[in-house]
Structure 1
Amino acid sequence: MQIITPGTRLVPEAVLANNAALFRALPETPAHADTSLHRVVIVGGGAGGLELATRLGRKFGKRRLSVTLVDRNRTHIWKPLLHEVASGALSASNDAVEYIAHASRHHYRYRIGEVVGIDRAKRQVFVAPSFDDDGRQIIPPRVLGYDTLVLS
């Protein structure tokens, strides 16, 4: 099974052929994207990174600023509540924030992955590929461009 993430477009011939083996991901920034927007990339979806992405997304929206949050996890659990999760008072699955749903509601992009490098001269962040439980690559390595980088 191939997982297609937000920001990935499918090649039409693959859809018509209905064959997942023919799907190929196109670049992170599609040709029709508005590249005139100031790009903010936030690395780390902890309390600070999530709050910043939320505030920027709500204040500026997708038409005035491009905000991308990168984190290796799919969900966020507010760390001060971890003792309640450990004691069984809270359920991690019920009380976790799903980054992708939160991003959609608050007008920013979420990209799953681990940042493995930064090229400050070229203003690029390198994100490692993601693998499923069987070790199959489900998301290829990516390069995200930025105008402002926040390490959170």
Structure 2
Amino acid sequence: MSEDSLRYDKMVEDALRGVVRDALTQTAEHGLFGEHHFYITFRTRFPGVRLPGHIMVRHPDEMTIVLQHQFWGLEVDENHFEVTLSFSGVSERLYVPFAAITGFADPSAKFGLQFQVEDEEEEFEDEDLPEEIPDGDLGDDTPADTSDEGGKVIALDAFRKK
């Protein structure tokens, strides 16, 4: 595409990222309503993403987080969100630019979005990863569900591009 043409595809994606931003802003201000919960998939190597090293080792390219029962300190601004989640019983702070998001879903509303992420990824070499990870350090990265309800498994295939 020539540089002098309008990038409608980028404009639409930016507008749809605004939907994610608005949903997270409302959640930060008022909490989750009813059965709403979010699956957010993002590129872990995208510039500006901040994750603890042991999480980066486990998810070197992309990861999905769930905002449902156990998340704290959700903060949202124009370009990113921050949230604290529990990984193997340890609270960890994540910083995610909206431009790093590749997918957003709210299964309770049967709503999902897929995004193309520009190839702005910084070079990330294997030597940037910790050399050794003590046994048991990686654990299960899924936030624990402390509700009295039974767990639900939701396939995200319905929200993925085919």
Bin the TM-score by the shorter chain.
under 0.3
TM-score of the two chains, using structure 2 as the length reference: 0.25
More helix by share: 1
TM-score of the two chains, using structure 1 as the length reference: 0.26
